[in-house]
Amino acid sequence: MSKPHVLLLGSIDHAKKEWEALSEIATLSVADSANREAFIKDLKGKYSDVVAVYRTFSSVSITGRFDEELIKEFPSTFKYICHNGAGYDQIDIAPVTAAGVHVSNCPGTVDDATADVNLFLILGALRNFNKALNLLRRGEWTKGLALSHDPEGKVLGILGMGGIGRALKKRAEAFGMTVQYHNRKQLSEELAAGAKYVSFDELLATSDVLSLNLPLNPHTRHIINKEALAKLKDGAVIVNTARGAVIDEAALVEALESGKIASVGLDVFEKEPKVHPGLIANENVILLPHVGTRTFETQKKMEIQVIDNIRAALTTGKLENIVPEQVNLQ
């Protein structure tokens, strides 16, 4: 009896031994299709018996979005998408689920590294470090540099208090910040760990710093728009390490230029790798090129987590980290 076929979309950089060990129970191959059109053609040929795929964020350049059009082209053997990343907005869950395909992601392993970057951006935005760095490099020292703000005593509003949000809470409290949050569902007392649950509008109106830690989906796209920005405190700070499209960047630029928003820290953008020119030009914005999980330790843990999900799927028929939309399906 032949082994199930597992297809790698992208590359494995740190867990090569763990990947190779999968060959004990599976036939492994690496996608070499040049583009989406070629990939669809290959699904009728050399990938016609694929059972599971290991997909990376960058593999979207090969396959395009995993949407209804693409999922229809997969063979009937196809059962599992094991995604390397916490966010999986490149996968359209509804048609994938309808096709009977289960999806896993990487919750937990990304929490600490992302929360570290999150806190860096909060401190950088509050202290206006971006402008200070630019003045130094121009040889102007602190010329025209206004006084900044301490984190101690500030109210941090976390929109989306999942694993990353909770890891951020612990870090922020060490700096003397008070934490409140909003989710679609209130957390248990144990998970909230003292953070105050508030409505979305109250979060906007009462937070000194708004941190975006929610997944991108049709309900959260542009959740921070012109109307939401108007409800924020004058001089509020916004930090985003989630997905760029949860913010309307054009509206954000307007709010920065008007002074409604004092400063911003961003690790993600609407149209990566492109960044809105109004954000680049504004010295009150501290920017990073989506490096939230870019540490050796975190990247290796994520790769191993994906491989563990594939192994579990092939040996037990169940994913270890099935996405929330599918938790009742296995």
Domains of the chain, each with CATH number or no CATH: 5-109+297-326 (3.40.50.720), 111-287 (3.40.50.720)
The Cβ of residue 93 has, within 10 Å, a number of other Cβ atoms equal to 18
Question: What is the model's pLDDT at position 330?
Answer: 74
**Residue 195, pLDDT score:** 98
Which phi and psi (to 5°) does residue 3 adopt? -80, 150
- The residues of the chain scoring below 50 in pLDDT are none
pLDDT at 46: 95
The residues annotated with a catalytic role in the active site are: 243, 272, 290
Contacts 24+ apart (CB under 8 A), 151-155: 151/122, 151/123, 151/126, 151/175, 151/176, 151/177, 151/209, 152/176, 152/177, 153/177, 153/178, 154/126, 154/178, 154/208, 154/209, 155/179, 155/180, 155/206, 155/207, 155/208, 155/209
Q: Is 199 exposed, middle or buried (0-12, 13-18, 19+ CB in 10 A)?
A: exposed
For residue 320, the model assigns a pLDDT of 97
Note the pLDDT of residue 1: 60
The pLDDT score that the predictor gives to residue 329 is 85
Rg (CA), the chain: 22
